[in-house]
Amino acid sequence: MDKRLQFNVWYFVAAFIALTAFQYWMASSSVTERIAYSTFLQHLEAGEVATVTVEPEQIRGSYRTPQNGNSYFVTNIVPEDLTDRLAAANVEFDGTVQNTFLSTVLSWVMPLALIFIFWMFLFRRIAEKQGMGGLMAVGKSKAKVWVERDTGVTFADVAGADEAKAELQEIVAFLKQPETFGRLGARIPKGILLSGPPGTGKTLLARAVAGEAGVAFFSISGSEFVEMFVGVGAARVRDLFEQARKAAPCIIFIDELDALGKRRGIGGFGGVDEKEQTLNQLLAELDGFDPRDGIVLLAATNRPEILDPALMRAGRFDRQIVVDRPDKTGRAAILRVHLKKVQVDPALDIDAVAGLTPGFTGAELANLVNEAAIRATRRKGEQITMDDVTEALERVVAGMERKGRLLNPHERETVAWHEMGHALAAANLPGADPVHKVSIIPRTIGALGYTLTRPTEDRFLITRSELENRMVMLLAGRAAEDVHFGEVSTGAADDLVRATDIARQIVMRFGMHPVLGQAVLDRERGGHLGDDVFTMPQRDFSEATAREVDLAVREALDTAYHRAKALLVDHHDDLAAGAAMLLEHETITPDDFPPLRKRDG
């Protein structure tokens, strides 16, 4: 303990002991007795009272000689002519005037203090949450400053985005050696926009650039610029760039740029002037700073299609880098990064896991590894196995098992035939993905059963025959019900939606129908976040063409359904045997039931 602190502690202990002793001495030397008013009058008439102090509600006094060992007394006042009695007894007496200064001051100060405290702890917090607080610092930037030791991220921590990393290496080289980089007169782009689906690692890449370059990293969300008061967002933009100039070389990273840079003149009812002023100020700052000062502006968005064209022109955001969903090789690299942090069975096939996860982003793969680790921990395993990964994948894709949902025997049999129809179609159709597992255990997302297929490779071009085969596989579940029961159920609702979408795309987007020809009747809508449900599709073709589209879609679906039904009739024995095995075991794989193994042709 610090000697000075130890001295202060003993000082307070000594003071406490002294104060306690003094109070004990005062209590023992001057004992005050409470007596009745009549007793007081008796003592008064007997001449035993020495002094009296009259207070508004009581009388305090002392005896000439102690009475019953007490030198002082106190009694309540009974209204009567007391002054004459005191004068007749030749007693020294006095009154006290109540001091009301403190109560008067408190009556004024306490309400104001309570109001101030209420404002500080309640109203101010609510106001700050609503964007109205901190009026003295209303124009200050809320950017969090990260330096290299805080980011803790380098390009070694980023996998599955090799093209994006290669382009960002130039930014790192410029920040480290601006003179060497610009020896031929080249200048670094003022702004670099990272766009792509959510979870692909845009923010991680920005932090990796700062970690590689070892410079200050200003990170702020676009929504933090937008406030209730007009002009506040513009002031924050100015303040952010002023901080960046003082800390150059540095990186400014604006996440969710679409909240700040949405196209002017569209959308919104309130706060439009504030958003436009904030955007105008950002445009002015982009025009006003020299990239040779060592300031690099990075931004990320999931919706580049709604950004203002003035923001995207050359000289502002000069370079756009698309961070797309990783391919199979990229997914394997991402899995290796995340699996380094957990205990993994050496027999785990990472490439097989990558093949099971087409379309997964980096964030989804990280979640998959975490779910697998949770399952391995729950079963008290020492390492993560392939079974853990498969179960985690099924949980992510289809939800948790709902073994408590009991289907009646007929429904359970219907689900078994339905799923076996999907699986046999996938095993016998050319170009279809191989079957990995078939189950009739209900899941929380709503599926009463599922057929899990595993792509052997990433596909970027698909022929018409492959699309038609996908439709056959989707409709094979309903066809299996028809073959066995002679009627169909509502279990194929989702299959019908997906099959109809494929048929409509064949006719309207891909120009694959012989009658309607090569015309594109439906353009792709939406960006990285999918279709815009608030935008009504525009139809630029006639009613006659619309009828032809409807007939073509119906013809494609009917043809696929008849093909599925014919295929299952040809393999009826396998269909019946597989459905019986599903009813017995609930989950089977191609190893358990050989007819599910892939047979092209």
SS3 category, 49: strand
Residue 389, amino acid: V
**Token reading at 313:** 């022109």
Contacting residues for 163 by C-beta, under 8 A, at least 6 apart: 321
d(CA 190, CA 275): 22
d(CA 476, CA 565): 7
Is residue 537 within 8 A of residue 550, CB to CB? The reply is no
d(CA 253, CA 246): 16
Spell out the long-range contacts of 226-231 with Cβ–Cβ below 8 A and sequence spacing 24 or more.
Answer: 226/259, 226/260, 226/271, 226/274, 226/275, 226/278, 227/131, 227/138, 227/274, 228/130, 228/131, 228/132, 228/271, 228/274, 229/131, 229/132, 229/138, 229/274, 230/273, 230/274, 230/277, 231/274, 231/277
Catalytic residue among 256, 364, 394, 419: 419
Ranges assigned E (strand) in 19-133: 32-34, 49-54, 58-67, 70-76, 92-95
Nearest to 285 by CA among 190, 172, 166, 417: 190
How many residues are given for the chain?
601
Q: CB count, 10 Å around CB of 96?
A: 10
d(CA 191, CA 387): 45
d(CA 2, CA 244): 42
Does the annotation mark 305 as catalytic?
A: no
Nearest to 305 by CA among 524, 537, 540, 501: 524
DSSP for residue 143: P
**Token reading at 266:** 């569209």
Is residue 595 within 8 A of residue 425, CB to CB? The reply is no
Q: Strand order of the sheet with strand 58-67?
A: 32-34, 70-76, 58-67, 49-54, 92-95
* Catalytic positions: 419
